[in-house]
Amino acid sequence: MPRPSALTELNDLLAKRPEELKQAKAEGRKVVGYFCSYIPEEIIWALGMIPLRLCRAGNNQAVSVGATYLTSNACPFACSCVGLKKDGRDGYFKLIDYVVDAPACLQMRRVLEVWEKYFEVRVLSLALPRQFYSVRGQAYFAQAVEQLSRELAHDQGINLDSARLTQAVELFNDIRRQQRWLYDGLKQASFALDWRQVLGVIRAGLLLDREQYLQLLHELVAQLKSQAPDNTPARKARLLIAGAMLAPGDDKLVNILAEVGAEVVMDELCTGSRSIYGEIKQPDINSIAQRYLSNIPCGSLPYPKLDDDPRHKHLRRLLTEYRIEGVIYYTLRFCDAYNFKAGHMRHLITSMGISFLHISSDYTNADVGQMRTRVEAFLESIQHRT
């Protein structure tokens, strides 16, 4: 099956992006970084600034440096967010004018504190309500988003223009629509892209110029629609990866899965499919805030009733729609939020007759062999069941 040319173009653009951002900054545009998936990019974009998700991982050297500012019991992702900033060489981290964030977990709050205190980065914080599912929580968040948009507009010395906000909402809604189409394609065994390629497309969208990105998404979708389906018979266990952070650069598990020929067809990850759902109904602050807060929640937010936890409900739906036979639940060491919930996750998944494997790791290579053995044994156990 020929590789769609839009994918190659996407990679070319990614390679040029740091240089392009440097140029944009030289022309006076501000680059606004964020870590967690609760930041309404629409507002940043509508105000003429460039949103950039700070999502880099896998560098153990950066983890060691970050740990000296946080603690050696902090998760590797949080540590590397600090270490990369301290190091100052990362093509994206060094370009940030300031950070806007709504940290969902405590460790990300510490990261912001360190950036502000030791690296003198200006941080605008968006408060996430603990009871995110309640009406009160929604109202609170809408107010916080309103306040943030006022601060950003003040910084830019302009007012948030309603025509521009409408344009932003249309742009980001359309991006998510095209991304959903790609993820939907993975339901069919004959789809011409595999999950790893789709994940690469989603990740590219966190960094590229969003209008250019949308144009390429449309091209990619058109190319895929015009291609004959890939009818190579595949009879492998269909897997889903769930968990917390599997950020670009943290490739150990993904590489092992590719090496052993595993067939991942879906994810439920903050850096993957979790960002593609939810349509903003109206181009106003309330509707924008509502989409972000009522999207599939980060597992570090507390939800008291397991049965109707929206993340669990969503996961159950994915398991059925994607005909999943095995789930790999990937967590990082010292990520209390997601490790704490591993037991619930195991119960939820195995009670549906689906195999479950919990892998907790870090950015070292110490456990590569062990991880590969566990993944192979997991795949064999699924094959024996079917």
Instruction: Please identify, among the stretches 100-108, 155-163, 211-219, 259-267, the one whose residues bind ligand SF4 according to the rule CB under 6 A.
Output: 100-108
Which tokens go with 233?
């018979």
- Distance in angstroms (rounded) separating the CA atoms of residues 365 and 60: 9
**Which of the residues 33 through 62 are near ligand SF4 (CB under 6 A)?**
35-37
Q: Which is nearer to ligand SF4, 36 or 354 (CB)?
A: 36
Residue 240 bridge partners (DSSP): 266, 327
**Across the chain, which distance is largest between two alpha carbons, in Å?**
64
Q: Minimal distance in Å, beta carbon 30 to ligand SF4?
A: 22
Examine residue 78 and tell whether it contacts ligand SF4 (CB under 6 A). Answer: yes
Q: Which is nearer to ligand SF4, 50 or 247 (CB)?
A: 247
- Kindly give, in sequence order, each residue whose CB lies less than 8 Å from that of residue 198, ignoring residues fewer than 6 positions away: 182, 183, 185, 186
Q: Which is nearer to ligand SF4, 44 or 78 (CB)?
A: 78
Q: Total number of residues binding ligand SF4 (CB under 6 A)?
A: 19
Examine residue 168 and tell whether it contacts ligand SF4 (CB under 6 A). Answer: no
Q: Which is nearer to ligand SF4, 152 or 270 (CB)?
A: 270
The 323-362 contact track toward ligand SF4, x by CB under 6 A, reads ---------x--x-xx------------------------
**Residue among 10, 21, 31, 75 that touches ligand SF4 (CB under 6 A):** 75
The DSSP bridge pattern shows strands 355-361 and 326-332 to be parallel
**Which of the residues 228 through 247 are near ligand SF4 (CB under 6 A)?**
244-245
299-320 residues labelled b (16+ CB within 10 A) or e (exposed): bbbebeeeeebebbebbeebbe
Return contacts of 185-192, CB within 8 angstroms, 24+ apart.
Answer: 185/224, 186/265, 186/266, 186/322, 187/265, 187/321, 187/322, 187/323, 188/229, 189/234, 190/229, 190/230, 190/231, 191/224, 191/229, 191/230, 192/1, 192/4, 192/224, 192/227, 192/229, 192/230
**Which of the residues 101 through 160 are near ligand SF4 (CB under 6 A)?**
104-105, 107-108
**Residue among 270, 276, 348, 375 that touches ligand SF4 (CB under 6 A):** 270
Q: Which residues bind ligand SF4 (CB under 6 A)?
A: 35-37, 75, 77-78, 104-105, 107-108, 244-245, 270, 298, 300, 332, 335, 337-338
